[in-house]
Structure 1
Amino acid sequence: MKFWDELPLGQVTPSKLRDWISALGVTPKRARNLLTPLRSVFEDALNDELIDYNPFDRIALGKLLRQTTKASDYEVDPFASKERATLLEHARADERPMLQFWFNTGLRPGELMALRWAKIDWVGRKARIDRNLVAKTEKGPKTAAGIRDVELNDEAIAALIAQKSATFLAGEHVWNNPRTSAAWETDAQIRKTLWEPLCTRSGVRYRNPYQVRHTFASALLTAGANPWYVAQQLGHVDVQLVFRVYGKFISQDYQRPQAARLRIAIEGQV
């Protein structure tokens, strides 16, 4: 943002804006994150009559970003079932319930942090997801599909039961920071204080915590789950994003049951 230091608002032209965006050399997501506060500045300036027009209104931003930004090198790299078991085995007792629940629900980090006990339907075995914590602020989902009921399997229910003694009586957030006993505030807290130390002591190759969500989707698809069901559980409108971003075949999870079935068949012939 040093490009804009001390430059008067009135001197920011569409051409200057285009040149700056073209030289960013970042992914579309990163570019939009940079542009959002800058765009807000010009909207306020226009409303306050400090400028005659908003330069953002005179550029084809979507087309420009498609032409000048680079593809993300982020890789979907889910955890195999053996790795998941190792992580849970090495998690501390006050860490394990949240991780077990996360691997079995695939929530976004912000959804996990915002989840409250009142949203748990014990009879229906579902969790109502309608809030997301972003930058210490809770808000609703970006799309209507984000408001959903996530089904809770036996592992997720067991994780909630294990967590009851820690946070249930408070009646607020299900998951808290075990080091402070306060609600999580950012996903960076989870990454730095829980996830990175856990990966180190478990010996599991490090991937960022968002891979838990990828793992949930990939594991379901590998096991043969209906893609539309997976999309609904993740909070997506359709299956395109599930296949393109989240769903990656986990060969280790697939080969194990195949080998087991083959062994049983061979033993049955002996």
Structure 2
Amino acid sequence: MDTVISSNLPGIEVHGKSIRVVFMHKGVRHRHTLGIEPTKANLKHASRLRSAAMYALKTGAYDESEFFPHSRQGDQAGTASKRLGDLSERYMPLKAVDITAETQNRYQVALNACLNTIGRNRLADALIPADIQQLRVDLIETRAVSTVNHYLATFAGFLYWCEQNHFCAEDLAKHCTRFTKSNKDPDPFTYQEYNALITKGCLHPVDAASVTLAFYTGLRPGELCGLAVEDIATDLSKLTVRRSVTQSLTFKIPKTNKERTILLFPPAQAALKVLIEDALTRDAMDLEVWLNRHESRVDRARLLLSPKTQARKTDVNAWYVPSAWNTKWSNLTRRAEVRHRPPYQTRHTYACWNLTARGNLAFIANQMGHSDYSMLVKVYGRWIDSESPRELGRIWQGMKKLVQIAPNLPQ
């Protein structure tokens, strides 16, 4: 019996010491290993079997177990499960156990955008680098760079999972190259703009106090909305950031996954008096704060900011979500006739005001929740005056004090 090592028959492959039948139907590739030697006679038999199977598929009489009873299990599962859409439905529940529900929603939106663009019915093992490169081209046509980069990062994670499980070719994920994004400098408010917001933009004392607190603490909008009376020291000297509000009305721990303490300037202390007085008119609530996907804690607290304070309707939520705070902020800037910037710029303003006043970098970084001051240097470099004659004079005064303490030092 002569063994052949190749086949010129359509859809018939020599797979080691066996024969593999391959055919497509409605965009799905079927692949079955027959377990018979690749002789000329067996190759012709495989070709006839393939033709019969394809005909049965077209007429609706196809029974896979009848045509390929000895096909390997991996081949019987076939490539129907290798459609990108089907694979994504297997992937997301596995990914979801390690992320929050909020993040899962963001990932799902990103993955759906990529799948809808590249084709949900595409077979993973048929993808080539050019397909990923075309995806990048298609995505960037109608989306911002930051959005596309988020989509590509999410899709790269999905492709890497496909690679690890042998659903697609290796090294596809590395072609999800992110686009270069220009670094936008912070756009802080001037003190004159801040004053206009307080005097012209805010029509209610609570609004003025909220804006003041945002400018003089550097809190992120979600952290500001999640701040409670119980987070404030009784002498108003400091506050502790323990939670943040998400867009889905839930609470989570701060961005750095740990609490931080902020020492308060006098304007922030005055603002807190107003906010605490208002918050004490409301009952404390049990707030479920998610630590991760599977664990949470309950904080008994009175939130400082609530839409109920100025609501005309009785049925309103008990706390702000970031989008609602954004809407209020837009109204404040409009009335104040101040150039609109997102409310996150109050955090940038806090950093820039501190740096312009020549505050200690390590102290400012700690106040803002950074692990070190490298982020300050990177983001706010032009507000750090590194060549000021005043700084030289300050250092010289410190040196002279050292000389007084240790007179043997050279003068």
- Partner of residue 143 from structure 1, selected from 245, 256, 272: 256
Alignment partner of 1:211 is 2:322: no
Deviation at 1:75, TM superposition (A): 3.6
Q: How many residues align?
A: 241
Residues 190, 80 of structure 1: CA spacing in aligned structure 2 closer, same or farther, 3 A cutoff? same
Q: CA deviation at 1:40?
A: 7.1
Q: Matched residues in 1 for 2:153 and 2:377: separation? A: 28
Aligned to 1:86: 196
Deviations 1:110-158 (A, max 9, x none): 11112122211223621111322233232223435x5310111221121
Q: CA 1:45–1:59 in structure 2 vs 1: closer, same or farther (change >3 Å)?
A: closer
Q: What secondary structure, in the 3-state scheme, does the structure 1 residue paired with 2:245 have?
A: strand
- 1:31-67 Cα shifts (integer Å, max 9, x gaps): 34324665676689899xxx744779743378x22xx
Is 1:119 paired with 2:253?
no
Aligned in 2, Cα 1:83/1:236: closer, same or farther, shift over 3 Å? same
* Residues 14, 56 of structure 1: 8 Å contact kept: no
Amino acid at match of 1:76: P
Matches within 5 A, 1:247-258: 249=383
Q: Please report how far the alpha carbon of residue 223 of structure 1 lies from its aligned counterpart in structure 2 after TM superposition.
A: 0.7
C-alpha displacement at 1:4, in angstroms?
A: 3.4
Q: Are the equivalent residues in 2 in contact too, given 1:97–1:160 (CA < 8 A)?
A: yes
Query: Are the structure 2 counterparts of residues 55 and 74 from structure 1 closer, same or farther at C-alpha, using a change threshold of 3 Å?
Result: farther
Q: Distance in 2 between matches of 1:205 and 1:28?
A: 24
2:176 aligned with 1:176: no
Q: Flag the structure with more relative contact order, 1 or 2, with Cα contacts below 8 A and sequence separation at least 6.
A: 1
Identity %: 25
Gaps in structure 2 of 5+ consecutive residues: 1-112, 285-301, 386-411
Aligned to 2:27: none
Structure 1 residue corresponding to 2:207, chosen from 77, 95, 118: 95
d(CA) in 2 for partners of 1:125 and 1:229? 16
Partner of 1:262 in structure 2? none
Give the alignment's TM-score, normalised by structure 2. Answer: 0.51
CA distance in 2 between counterparts of 1:119 and 1:9 reads: 53
- CA 1:158 to 1:56, structure 2 compared with 1: closer, same or farther past 3 Å? farther
1:254 equivalent in structure 2: none
Could you tell me which of 357, 361, 385 is aligned with 1:223? Answer: 357
1:1-270 equivalent positions in 2, closer than 5 A: 1=113, 2-8=116-122, 10=124, 13=127, 15=129, 16-21=131-136, 24-25=139-140, 29-35=146-152, 38=155, 52-53=166-167, 58-60=172-174, 64-65=177-178, 69-72=179-182, 74-90=184-200, 91-93=202-204, 94-123=206-235, 125-136=237-248, 137-143=250-256, 147-168=259-280, 169-171=282-284, 172-177=302-307, 178-179=310-311, 180=316, 182-185=318-321, 187-192=322-327, 194-246=328-380, 249=383
Matched AA of 2:253: G
Which letter maps to 2:247? A
Q: What is the letter of the counterpart of residue 318 of structure 2?
A: A
Note the aligned Cα RMSD (angstroms). 3.3
Report the TM-score when normalising by structure 1.
0.75
Matched residue SS, 2:240: strand
- Contact kept? 1:17, 1:55, Cα under 8 Å: no
Separation of aligned partners in 2, 1:79 and 1:152? 20
